[in-house]
């Protein structure tokens, strides 16, 4: 083991960082819940139950992880003295608390990856072939992590780094799965935005911020997993700090994406629709106003434009009414 930070110091530092991030996650979770309720009331929108399920699972797992980490530190510092005994306890990978807290990390990463895969599946019109590759990577990653926990508790002479290759596979596969699904998700939104702008007037797009949000969240998650893998490669005790920060960090990224994308007032199914293209037919004059048609995709929607002259006949007041699409 590399000299420098001892594992008891790393556990304390990690618990402090985790406590701060957990507090941020709890606040964001409450804000997201309030925002979802307000949007449902104001815009009569339907709740995305997979999103709600993922959010509840993440907050429950983050709470469990913070509780287990706190209990682990208390047990180490209260029941194990001198420091050599405390370090030996914390480095013992067969301890139930050690297995439990890292199993929670595996579950959190699987939930986070699964939700990204689900959004990608919905955005791509529920095309299973698009998400088959990241789903396979996500579950293979979870299997590698589960095997590592099994090896720690069943194989003799185990240390944190004795199963390093499986840990690297666990984080690397999760990294690739998340990066692929995020890229496909961002590409789909970008392509819909590009096609939509092709049939509309030029101007600022409302979808461009969503692409940026998706890419930013993916980059944050990818950067964190990359640092985790590099920490594992160098074999430092900073691994424990990264491990304890990972769970609330996943929840924070999830909450920020849901909160910011939610203000665009589009759910994921919006991007499965064909972009609207507008073509104006020759107008028919009438005594009340002007009638024309609006073509959306391949459907023609009747539309009437009523024009009323003002007193000075130099200004006009117009009103457009659309009938429902066939």
pTM to 2 decimal places: 0.74
pLDDT band at 206 (very low <50, low <70, confident <90, very high): low
Q: Where are the beta strands (DSSP E) in the chain?
A: 284-285, 290-296, 299-309, 316-322
Mean pLDDT confidence for 153-175: 84
Per-residue pLDDT at 131 exceeds 70? yes
Sign of CA dihedral 244, 246, 249, 251: negative
Stretch 32-50: mean pLDDT: 76
Per-residue pLDDT at 273: 53
User: What value does the mean pLDDT take over residues 202-209?
Assistant: 56
**Predicted pLDDT of residue 307:** 43
Selected residue with higher pLDDT from 201 and 41: 41
> Is residue 325 left, alpha or beta, with left meaning phi > 0 and alpha meaning psi from -120 to 50?
beta
Two tokens, residue 139? 């579950």
List CB contacts of 26: < 8 A, sequence separation 6 or more. Answer: 59
Nearest to 277 by CA among 260, 262, 295, 293: 295
Once rounded to an integer, what is the mean pLDDT over residues 244-270?
A: 74
pLDDT at 277: 41
Q: Report how far apart, in Å, the C-alpha atoms of 161 and of each of 33, 232, 246 are.
A: 40, 8, 18
- pLDDT greater at residue 167 or residue 224: 167
β-pairing, 299-309 vs 284-285, is unpaired
Q: What percent of the chain has pLDDT over 90?
A: 26
Rounded Cα distance, 68 and 104, in Å: 10
pLDDT (0 to 100) of residue 198: 60
Alpha-carbon span 122 to 315, nearest angstrom: 47
Task: Provide the β-strand partners of residue 280.
Answer: 294
- Per DSSP, the three-state class of 4 is coil
Residue 255 pLDDT class (50, 70, 90 cuts): confident
pLDDT: which is higher, 5 or 75 = 75
Is 116 a residue whose pLDDT tops 80? yes
Helix then strand then coil, in percent of the chain rounded to 5, is 70, 10, 25
- pLDDT of 284 > 50? The answer is no
Number of alpha carbons in the 13 Å side-chain half-sphere of residue 117: 23
Is the torsion defined by CA of 211, 213, 217, 222 positive or negative? positive
Taking alpha carbons only, the member of 194, 261, 255, 189 closest to residue 220 is 255
Q: Across residues 117-142, what is the average pLDDT?
A: 91
What is the tens place of the pLDDT at every residue in 292-304?
A: 444 444 444 444 4
Q: Which residue has the tokens 């590399």?
A: 2
- Average predicted confidence (pLDDT) for the chain: 76
Query: What order of strands is seen across the sheet that includes strand 284-285?
Result: 284-285, 290-296, 299-309, 316-322
What is the helix (H) or strand (E) element at residue 124, kind and residue range?
none
Query: 296 - beta bridge partners?
Result: 299
Mean pLDDT across 5-21? 90
Q: Is 59 or 296 the better-scoring residue by pLDDT?
A: 59
Q: Comparing C-alpha atoms, which of 266, 267, 263, 251 is closest to residue 56?
A: 251
**Is the model more confident about 8 or about 38?**
8
Q: What is the pLDDT of residue 74?
A: 93
């Amino acid at each position: 083991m590399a000299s420098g930070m001892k594992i008891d110091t790393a556990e304390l530092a990690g618990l402090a960082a985790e406590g701060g991030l957990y507090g941020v996650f709890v606040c964001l979770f409450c804000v997201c819940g309030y925002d979802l309720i307000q949007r449902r009331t104001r815009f009569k929108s339907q709740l995305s139950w997979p999103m709600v399920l993922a959010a509840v699972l993440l907050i429950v797992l983050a709470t469990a992880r913070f509780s287990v980490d706190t209990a682990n530190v208390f047990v180490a510092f209260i029941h194990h003295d001198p420091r050599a005994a405390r370090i030996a306890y914390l480095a013992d990978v067969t301890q139930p608390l050690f297995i439990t807290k890292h199993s929670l990390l595996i579950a959190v990463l699987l939930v986070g990856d699964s939700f990204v895969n689900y959004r990608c599946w919905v955005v791509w019109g529920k095309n299973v072939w698009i998400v088959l590759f990241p789903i396979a990577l996500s579950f293979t990653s979870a299997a590698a992590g589960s095997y590592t926990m099994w090896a720690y508790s069943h194989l003799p002479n185990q240390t944190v780094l004795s199963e390093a290759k499986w840990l690297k596979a666990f984080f690397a596969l999760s990294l690739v799965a998340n990066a692929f699904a995020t890229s496909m998700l961002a590409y789909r939104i970008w392509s819909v935005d590009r096609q939509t702008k092709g049939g509309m007037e030029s101007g600022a797009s409302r979808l461009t911020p969503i692409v940026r949000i998706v890419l930013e969240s993916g980059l944050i998650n990818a950067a964190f997993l990359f640092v985790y893998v590099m920490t594992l490669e160098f074999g430092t005790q900073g691994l424990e700090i990264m491990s304890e920060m990972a769970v609330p960090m996943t929840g924070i990224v999830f909450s920020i994406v849901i909160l910011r994308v939610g203000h665009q007032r589009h759910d994921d199914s919006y991007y499965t629709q064909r972009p609207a293209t507008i073509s104006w037919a020759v107008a028919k004059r009438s005594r009340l106003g002007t009638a024309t048609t609006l073509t959306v995709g391949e459907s023609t929607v009747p539309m009437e434009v009523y024009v009323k002259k003002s007193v000075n006949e130099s200004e006009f007041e117009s009103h457009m009414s659309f009938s429902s699409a066939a």
